[in-house]
Structure 1
Amino acid sequence: MATVTILQPDHAHTIDRFDAWLTQCGITLETVHLWEDPVPTLADLGDGVILLGGFMSSHDGIDHPWIEPVGWLLKEAIHNHLPVLATGLGHQILAQAYGGHVAVPGPSGLEEGASELTLTDAALSDPIISHVAKNQVLMGFLSHSDAVERLPQDSRLLASSTAYNYQAFRIGSGLALQFHPEASPAQIARWHVAQGGEEEPLLSALQAVDGRVSFNGQRIAYAFAEQVGVQPPPIVR
């Protein structure tokens, strides 16, 4: 049985729907709460690692001293060909660790809700994103104000939105996604409320397209499971 380590930056950004999807693949999940647990070593990560989002900035290393060590850990994991998935803030931390630049805030401001992302040709051969590359468009849930403005050298751009160019990239065994394939409509709405917004009409708008988004999320989860050496069950739609 494979084990995947979940690096969780704050209480609000949980693994959410990935919990069930990865468990269905026979994967054991070990969660590290970065606000209170020590940053693990490479030997602690098992067969793969997922770095989730968070309300803090990737530049907030003084207030959150785990940020830089987590970046080093992900680089070490990728150097050793360990499957890495980074979403939201995780996407930004991974880019920063490899010398990319993160704007705080991004020049286009808040990007929130369901969005259609345009996939690059490189995405069509990516071991994970190719599973959701229908017509080179991918719909996902977004919730961010900070944004990657320069990709790391040797990375491959996989997806862009109308507001921000760098929505997904791959570097070695690492996949970074600004969108949140793990998040349900309820979780996105909770983040919105936590930052002073109203639950509606955002929640209803997300629920209206969630059949498409959740199918993409499950396929991403299952494709990541394949990267850690597990054969996922068939997806029934």
Structure 2
Amino acid sequence: MTDATTPVLTVVQLDDGVSLDRFADWLDGVRVRPVRADLGESAGPADALDGLLVLGGQMSATSDEPGIAETRALLADAVAAGVPTLGLCLGAQLLAVATGGRVHVAAPPGRESGVIGVHWRPEALHDELVGGLVDADLPEDRRTTRMPSMHADAIVDLPRAAKWLAHSRAYPYQAFRVGSAWGLQFHPEASPATLHAWASLHDDVDTAAVDAAAAEHDEVVAGAGRVLARAFAGIVVARAAERTPA
């Protein structure tokens, strides 16, 4: 149940095949406002937003395809305005570029696909978004969460002001925070069906192996994705409450 006082989370979609997927059922306490930036829709001024979530896509974070430049600018403005912001995969790459980082198109060591181990750094332990996934009782080298992944471009330099939160075996920058914004290179929102659809688009991906990994780890993946979605929604709700006059 929502009403006029419910905080609004603006969700920017850049690709027809990359939606909120399972996050749609886990973003508690907010009203989702979809914006198709790839179709020319505008999110409006960043400082008017309660929260912002930017989804993934097949294009590059530095391309001139519809909606890309506008979304980079929106992300830069959202960070400057202190808007709670989350970028997923391409959204994370756009956030990095928008705030001074760098993305390598078709980066070595190649496409990272399937279900990967996201290894949490000590900085993640008390982070308000990802901290709920980090078990303080485990040694650092065992603080790992399984997450879906499907990307060939990669963040190779974080913004100077960023806090580095996680890495994987293949790529260093799986999660980071810059100001009020978080970037996640992985896909906590992706269901097995969605991951299958993405895998089938690429000749360099073993779709059967991706399907098997998604099925094997789905309970853990779904649980972790739910934690992240609810944590982010809670951050949006808390900021909206702080902005509301008493």
Same fold (TM over 0.5): yes
The answer on whether the counterparts of 2:104 and 2:155 sit within 8 Å (CA) in structure 1 is yes
Question: What's the TM-score once normalised by structure 2's chain length?
Answer: 0.87
Instruction: Tell me, yes or no, if structure 1 residue 206 matches structure 2 residue 211.
Output: no
The answer on whether the counterparts of 2:10 and 2:43 sit within 8 Å (CA) in structure 1 is no
The answer on whether the counterparts of 1:5 and 1:45 sit within 8 Å (CA) in structure 2 is no
Q: Note the 1:1-237 alignment, pairs <5 A.
A: 1-22=6-27, 25-42=28-45, 46-61=49-64, 64-134=65-135, 135=138, 136-196=143-203, 199-229=207-237
**Code of the aligned partner of 1:35:** D
The answer on whether the counterparts of 2:12 and 2:55 sit within 8 Å (CA) in structure 1 is yes
Count of aligned positions? 226
CA distance in structure 2 between the partners assigned to 1:149 and 1:102 by the alignment:
6
Q: Offset of 1:158 from its aligned partner?
A: 0.4
CA distance in structure 1 between the partners assigned to 2:168 and 2:206 by the alignment:
25
**Code of the aligned partner of 1:3:** V
Higher mean displacement: 215-224 or 96-105: 96-105
CA distance in structure 1 between the partners assigned to 2:206 and 2:119 by the alignment:
29
The answer on whether the counterparts of 1:149 and 1:166 sit within 8 Å (CA) in structure 2 is yes
CA distance in structure 1 between the partners assigned to 2:61 and 2:29 by the alignment:
32
Percent identity, aligned pairs only, is 35
**Code of the aligned partner of 2:178:** I
The answer on whether the counterparts of 1:39 and 1:70 sit within 8 Å (CA) in structure 2 is no
Q: Offset of 1:159 from its aligned partner?
A: 0.4
Structure 2 equivalent of residue 233 of structure 1: none
The answer on whether the counterparts of 1:91 and 1:177 sit within 8 Å (CA) in structure 2 is yes
Q: Offset of 1:45 from its aligned partner?
A: 5.9
Q: CA RMSD in A?
A: 1.6
SS of structure 2 residue aligned to 1:76 = helix
The answer on whether the counterparts of 1:100 and 1:148 sit within 8 Å (CA) in structure 2 is yes
Instruction: Could you tell me which runs of 5 or more consecutive residues in structure 2 were left unpaired when the two chains were aligned.
Output: 1-5, 239-246
Q: Offset of 1:80 from its aligned partner?
A: 1.5
Q: Offset of 1:69 from its aligned partner?
A: 2.0
CA distance in structure 2 between the partners assigned to 1:190 and 1:224 by the alignment:
26
Q: CA offsets per residue over residues 47-73 of structure 1, 9 Å max, x none?
A: 111000000111212xx1421221121
SS of structure 1 residue aligned to 2:172 = coil
Q: Offset of 1:44 from its aligned partner?
A: 8.3
**Code of the aligned partner of 1:148:** I
SS of structure 1 residue aligned to 2:208 = coil
Q: CA offsets per residue over residues 135-189 of structure 1, 9 Å max, x none?
A: 4222211100100001010101000011101111000110000001111111111
Q: Offset of 1:198 from its aligned partner?
A: 6.3
